[in-house]
Amino acid sequence: MGRGDGEGDFNWNLMDLRSSFPRSMRVKMEGYVHLARMIDKCRAVLAKTEGEYIYPCPMDDRLMEFTGITADQFTAAVKPNPSDEAVAKWFTQTAKAHPSAKLEAWNRMMLNRGPSTPKKQEYFNKLRDAVDSSRTDLTAWSDLQDLEEGRTVPRRTTPTR
């Protein structure tokens, strides 16, 4: 099955997150990080194959808030559209438009976002240490997701924030 890097012949329309991973939030679609991952998770929820994944999760909520789209709208758009292209077209037609500089700043924020409270930092450390306790260089949720899902995460010489 796919490793969620957006490459290869994996059929993303048959999303079963009980035995596979959604695409990395780093995969850009229509200029947005996280959109491809959110589509994968939504499809899995619709198929009742989401496993331990959550849709909508707080990261999904951030993307939807930024673009002015609700979870109900997004789910309703994904349900009848088996192709990424159709969902992406709907998304770009429906999403609140942002200048490219603002979109890129938002993408960086999403990719660099880390725990925002001491309790969330403890949780982050627990999850990270369960996979690789030597990776104390990781501070962003996006890196932790990739690490947990078996993707290569470069060593950071400075924190990702």
Examine the domain organization and report whether 131 and 150 are in the same domain: yes
Q: pTM of the full predicted structure?
A: 0.88
Domain range enclosing 126:
114-161
Question: What whole-number distance in Å separates Cα of residue 21 and Cα of residue 64?
Answer: 21
Least confident of 14-18, 41-45, 125-129: 14-18
Cα–Cα distances (Å) from 41 to 14, 126, 160, in that order, read 11, 24, 25
pLDDT level of residue 118 (50, 70, 90 thresholds): very high
Q: What is the DSSP code (8-state) at residue 76? A: H
Of 84 and 157, the structure prediction assigns the larger pLDDT to: 84
Q: What is the DSSP code (8-state) at residue 19? A: T
Examine the domain organization and report whether 62 and 12 are in the same domain: yes
**From the centroid of its chain, how far is CA 30?**
14
Examine the domain organization and report whether 130 and 106 are in the same domain: no
Examine the domain organization and report whether 106 and 122 are in the same domain: no
User: Per the structure, how many domains does the chain have?
Assistant: 2
Examine the domain organization and report whether 85 and 21 are in the same domain: yes
Q: Report whether 96 contacts 75 (CB < 8 A).
A: no
